[in-house]
Amino acid sequence: MALALATTGTIAAAGSHRHCHCPLLVLLPLLLLLLVLQQLALPVDGSSGIPTTLDGPFPPTTRAFDRSLRQGSADVPLTDPRLAPRLDPPAPEQIALAASSDPTSVWVSWVTGRGRVGSHLTPLDPAAVRSEVLYGYRSTTIATAYPHVARGGAEVYSQLYPYPGLLNYTSGVLHHVRLRGLRPGARYYYRCGDASLSGGLSEERSFVTMPAPGPSSYPRRVAVVGDLGLTGNSTATVDHLARNDPSLILLVGDMVYANQYRTTGGKGASCFSCSFPDAPIRESYQPRWDGWGRFMEPITSKIPMMVIEGNHEIEPQGHGGAVTFASYLARFAVPSEESGSNTKFYYSFNAGGIHFIMLGAYVDYNRTSAQYSWLEKDLQRVDRRVTPWVVAAWHSPWYNSYSSHYQEFECMRQEMEQLLKLRYLLFHLDATQVHAYERMNRVFNYTLDPCGPVYITVGDGGNIEKIDIDHADDPGKCPSPGDNLPEFGGLCHLNFTSGPAKGKFCWDRQPEWSAFRESSFGHGILEVAPFTSNVF
Ligand SMILES: [Fe+2]
C-alpha cells in the first residue's frame, strides 16, 4: 500500500481586484501554484475556478491522514538498472543542466570515470579528460557538425573518514561547462564529453532555454521538490514529475540521503547510533550520489534543475567532521558568480518574469553575514517591471505547524523576514525539511497580513525517512523547545505574544496562519500566467 503520490490542492496567489496597501508593490501577475493531485483543497472562486491567496485568509484546513498508511519505503539498490552504470568510461554520465542567472546561458555538468570506495584511494586527474560541449540549433548525427563548442573545468572530491570501519570515497571527474550567448526560449541540441576520445562524447540531448526576462513570459511549468532521496517513493515522485513535463525544476535540499544509507541499511530503520558506534561522525555513502545522478539523468539532461543545500548535504568528513558539503559543492553547477554571490550556498536567477532567490539555511544568515548583505543587494537589483514575481526558496521552513522541525529555524526567520517583507512581495517555497505539505495564509511575524508572502512547504519527495503526520497543535504533540535542534544556527524558540496562543509555544488548534496541510509524498508544480490588471 503506497502513500499518496503527490501533494494536493490548487491555489492562485493573486486576485484581480484586491488592493494591498503596501509600499513598493507593483503590478502583480496571476500566479498559479498547482499542486499535482487533482483534489481541490480550497473553495473554488466563481470566476476563475481557482481561488487566489488574496481571496484568503482561508480557514485552516487539515486533510485527515490514515496513520496505518505511514509506511517507509526502502532505498532502491545500486544494482537497479536505473542506478547502475550504463556506459563505460570515458562516456559521460550523470548529465545535468542548470540555468544561469539569465536565459542566454546554461550550465551543463556530467561525470566521467568511476567514483571508488576503499581505504587507500588515489584521486583521478581532472585534467586528464576535456570538458567540452558541442551544441547548436539543429539536431545532427555528426558531432563535428555542431556550430558551437564551449569548454569548462573539472574537479574531483573525496569523502574521507579517518576512523576505523568507515569507508573512504573519491569521485569520478565532475565537469561543468557554461554555454553562453544562447537565445531565450530556444531549443538547443548538444553533446558533452571529450571529443578527442573514442566513446568520449555523449549521445545528443536537447533543452529549451528559459524565456527572456519580462512581465509577459514565464516558464511553462516549474516543478518544486525536496527531501527527495532514492527510495521506491522517490522513484514514484520522479516518474510523476517527469509526466508533468516541467520546464524547470527546483530541488530545495536533501537530495540523496547518502548520509543515511549505511546507517539505515537502506531499509528506513532509524538506527544511527548502532552502525558506527566507535566513530564520532557518521559515514555518508557517496556511491549513492552516483546512483542518484544516473537515476535523474533522463530528466536532468533535458530540463534545468536548480538545487540548494539541505541538512543531508552537510555530510561532515575528516577529523571530527571539519569538512562539509564536499559532494554538493563539487557536483552541482549553480549561477553563483553570475548572481554575485560567489558561493554555491545561495544565489539567484531570472526565468521570464520570475526572479528566483535560493537562500542558504546552513550558512550564516545573520544581518552581519555575507549572505544577508548579498540578499539586500540582490533585492535592490530586482526590477519589478521586468520580474514582477520574486520567489524565494530555502530548505528549512520558517512557518510550520507540524511537530517535526517546529520552530527549528526561528533564528533565520527573525533575522531575514523583515528584509523580505519590507521590500518585496514574495512567494516563499520553504520546500522541505518537514516531510509533509503545508501552505500558509499570507503572514508576517506570525500575524495574518494581506501584504505578507505566501509560504509553502513542499516537504517530501519520498526519502527514506517516513512522512510527518503529527501537528504541534495535536493533543500531546507539542514538542519541547529542545526537540527540534537545527543542524546550523542557534535556538530562537518563542512563545506567541498575541492571539489564541498568546503566551504559549504551541497552538491548541491549527494556527490561523496555516491554510492547509496534508501528509503526503510528492512534488509541486508552479505555473505563472501573465496577468495585466493593476492589482495594487
Ligand atoms: Fe532536511
Distance, CA 396 to ligand 1 centroid (Å)? 7
- Residue 477 burial by Cβ neighbours in a 10 Å radius (0-12, 13-18, 19+): middle
Write the pLDDT tens digit of every residue in 62-83. Answer: 987 776 666 667 899 999 999 9
User: Under a CB-based contact definition with an 8 Å cutoff, are residues 458 and 34 in contact?
Assistant: no
b/e 213-238 (16+ beta carbons within 10 angstroms → b)? bbbebbbebbbbbbbbbbbebbbbbb
Write the pLDDT tens digit of every residue in 109-141. Answer: 999 999 999 988 999 999 999 999 999 999 999
For 177, phi then psi, to 5°, come to -130, 135
Provide the pLDDT for residue 268. Answer: 54
Provide the pLDDT for residue 164. Answer: 81
Complete DSSP assignment for 107-146: EEEEEES--EEESS-----GGGS--EEEEESS--S-GGG-
Nearest to 534 by CA among 28, 54, 52: 28
Beta bridge partners of 98: 107
Identify residue 163 by its one-letter amino acid code. Y
Complete DSSP assignment for 349-416: EEETTEEEEE--SSS--STTSHHHHHHHHHHHH--TTT--EEEEE-SS-SS--BSTTTTTTHHHHHHH
Residues 6+ apart with CB under 8 A from 223: 241, 244, 246, 248, 249, 250, 523, 524, 525, 526
Of the candidates 175, 312, 355, 405, the residue annotated as catalytic is 405
Provide the pLDDT for residue 147. Answer: 97
Provide the pLDDT for residue 521. Answer: 75
Distance, CA 314 to ligand 1 centroid (Å)? 10
Question: What is the Cα–Cα distance from 13 to 528, expressed in whole angstroms?
Answer: 10
Distance, CA 434 to ligand 1 centroid (Å)? 7
Q: Look at the chain and count its residues.
A: 536
Distance, CA 49 to ligand 1 centroid (Å)? 35
Distance, CA 309 to ligand 1 centroid (Å)? 9
Distance, CA 405 to ligand 1 centroid (Å)? 9
User: Under a CB-based contact definition with an 8 Å cutoff, are residues 388 and 215 in contact?
Assistant: yes
Output the CA–CA distances (angstroms, integers) from residue 397 to 12, 218, 252, 428, 432, in the order listed. 20, 26, 11, 9, 7
Question: What is the Cα–Cα distance from 236 to 95, expressed in whole angstroms?
Answer: 21
- Cis bond before residue 90 (omega within 30° of 0): yes
Give the number of other Cβ atoms within 10 Å of residue 48's Cβ: 14
- Cis bond before residue 123 (omega within 30° of 0): no
Distance, CA 172 to ligand 1 centroid (Å)? 26
Residues around ion ligand 1, judged by CB within 5 A, are 254, 310-311, 433
Question: What is the Cα–Cα distance from 270 to 285, expressed in whole angstroms?
Answer: 16
Distance, CA 484 to ligand 1 centroid (Å)? 12
Give the number of other Cβ atoms within 10 Å of residue 239's Cβ: 11
Provide the pLDDT for residue 368. Answer: 97
Which residue in the block uniquely carries the three cell numbers 516543478? Answer: 223
Question: What is the Cα–Cα distance from 124 to 6, expressed in whole angstroms?
Answer: 40
188 is written with which cell numbers?
538547443
Identify residue 176 by its one-letter amino acid code. H
Give the number of other Cβ atoms within 10 Å of residue 208's Cβ: 19
Question: What is the Cα–Cα distance from 343 to 358, expressed in whole angstroms?
Answer: 11
Distance, CA 460 to ligand 1 centroid (Å)? 10
Write the pLDDT tens digit of every residue in 203-217. Answer: 999 999 999 999 899
Distance, CA 459 to ligand 1 centroid (Å)? 9
Distance, CA 228 to ligand 1 centroid (Å)? 10
Identify residue 17 by its one-letter amino acid code. H
- Residue 145 burial by Cβ neighbours in a 10 Å radius (0-12, 13-18, 19+): exposed
Distance, CA 466 to ligand 1 centroid (Å)? 12
Distance, CA 241 to ligand 1 centroid (Å)? 20
302 is written with which cell numbers?
533535458
Provide the pLDDT for residue 214. Answer: 92
Provide the pLDDT for residue 468. Answer: 81
Q: Is 405 annotated in the active site?
A: yes
Nearest to 107 by CA among 173, 175, 177, 181: 177
Complete DSSP assignment for 301-362: TTS-EEE---GGG---BSGGG-B--HHHHHH----TTTTT--STTSEEEEETTEEEEE--SS
Low-confidence ranges of the chain (pLDDT < 70): 1-50, 53, 67-72, 264-276, 422-434, 529-536
Q: What is the pTM of this model?
A: 0.89
Provide the pLDDT for residue 55. Answer: 79
CA–chain centroid gap for 276, Å, is 30
Question: What is the Cα–Cα distance from 193 to 177, expressed in whole angstroms?
Answer: 10
Question: What is the Cα–Cα distance from 32 to 53, expressed in whole angstroms?
Answer: 10
Distance, CA 252 to ligand 1 centroid (Å)? 9
Question: What is the Cα–Cα distance from 260 to 229, expressed in whole angstroms?
Answer: 10
